[in-house]
Amino acid sequence: MTRLIAPHGSAALNPLIVADPAAHARLSKEAENLPSIVVSSAAAANAVMLAGGYFNPLTGYMGKAEALSVATDMKTASGLFWPVPVMNLVPDAGTIKAGQRIALRDPNVEGQPVLAVMDVTAVETLTEGELATIVAKVFRTSDPKHPGVAALLAQGKTMLSGPIQVLNFSYFKTEFPETFRTAVEIRAEIESRGWSKVVAFQTRNPMHRAHEELCRMAMDRLGADGLVIHMLLGKLKDGDIPAPVRDAAIRKMVEVYFPPNSAMITGYGFDMLYAGPREALLHAVFRQNMGATHLILGRDHAGVGDYYGPFDAQTIFDEIPRGALSIDTFRADNTAYSKKLDKVVMMREAPGHTPEDFVTLSGTKVRDMLGKGIPPPAEFSRPEVARILIEYYQALDQGRG
């Protein structure tokens, strides 16, 4: 039997979904009569990640002291390495008090059904200073224009902490039945495929030639058995391409250009933080939990705008304590098609090149081409992928017209 990498912080995964049908029915019935509160999209996404085992070994939402410890020192109360606070912030807790059992309602599903049941350990309010500390440490900026900062500040300052039991996976299982997978499910599939060295590729965008070849480089250089393409399926910032379009484009690329049993296409239910280095560490935690041995880190991994240096999300792995994580990283420079070498390369590995020797296009230029029905050069984007994106952008433009 294949021996997989151990989960983070425990010998086995601890998914918080209530899977037993009888227990699920009992909890669902109990939840109908409990005091309830509609949580933020971020808190709902945290519940989904806890449910699927991605946030192993956490058992629920952090309280104030633990959240501040994680923000400042990247340690939980028990001393476990953890890079980003996992919180349930609300504008107002109403009559909810410590010691109560409450139902958490889903803001992202029609009718706001119960997502989880929570045993409230504490109801605390973050001071302006405490909230500012969390923001500054996690995002390395306090700029309210940063999408992750804006999303966090919009949630409120009142913090509900305590263990949860999760009843469902929000909209992810129903809207992405072919793609959404829990950490438990991905581990099981890795094991069934007989893989032991596994590379994970994080994406919130369609994959162009450079991404595709980066995955191949990582697999070849590491001698990996397989690749898990792991798509973020949750909330993004305005302008990002919707998950169903990304999903279709990536599936087409793998179908046409990857050998059988070499790549798994999966997705996870989480809202993007755009927290750069800290989010890269969090990505590593849940990739380790799902069974990957290596995480590909490109330039500006999980970043946005100019808030982070191009390699900050790589070098932060050199700053954490040795042994904090078991997963390794594969660190990449920008990849692009070299006209001189007639192949995709990492730019740092192509001496004697000028910028004109590479096929590079700005996001704005690509968007403009696709909107006009013009496929980008084949060196930049596979034609099958470009067709899917052209259909999306042209439909988008027609809708605006």
Give pLDDT, residue 366.
Answer: 87
Give pLDDT, residue 334.
Answer: 84
Global model pTM greater than 0.85: yes
At 5-36, the pLDDT tens digits run 999 999 999 999 999 999 999 999 999 999 99
Give pLDDT, residue 305.
Answer: 93
Going 2 to 47 to 97 to 62, the CA torsion angle's sign is positive
Domains, the chain: 21-173 (3.10.400.10), 177-400 (3.40.50.620)
Going 215 to 273 to 270 to 179, the CA torsion angle's sign is negative
Active site positions, annotated: 204-205
| Burial class (CB within 10 angstroms; exposed 0-12, middle 13-18, buried 19+) of 395 | exposed
Give pLDDT, residue 275.
Answer: 98
Give pLDDT, residue 400.
Answer: 67
Are the CB atoms for 27 and 131 separated by under 8 Å? no
How do the pLDDT tens digits run along the chain, 401 residues long? Answer: 568 999 999 999 999 999 999 999 999 999 999 999 999 999 999 999 999 999 999 999 999 999 999 999 999 999 999 999 999 999 999 999 999 999 999 999 999 999 999 999 999 999 999 999 999 999 999 999 999 999 999 999 999 999 999 999 999 999 999 999 999 999 999 999 999 999 999 998 889 898 999 999 999 999 999 999 999 998 777 778 888 899 999 999 999 999 999 999 999 999 999 999 999 999 999 999 999 999 999 989 999 999 999 999 999 999 999 999 999 999 998 888 899 999 999 988 999 999 899 998 887 888 889 989 999 999 899 999 999 999 999 888 776 65
Residues in contact with 178: Cβ distance below 8 Å, sequence separation at least 6, in sequence order: 247
At 107-144, the pLDDT tens digits run 999 999 999 999 999 999 999 999 999 999 999 999 99
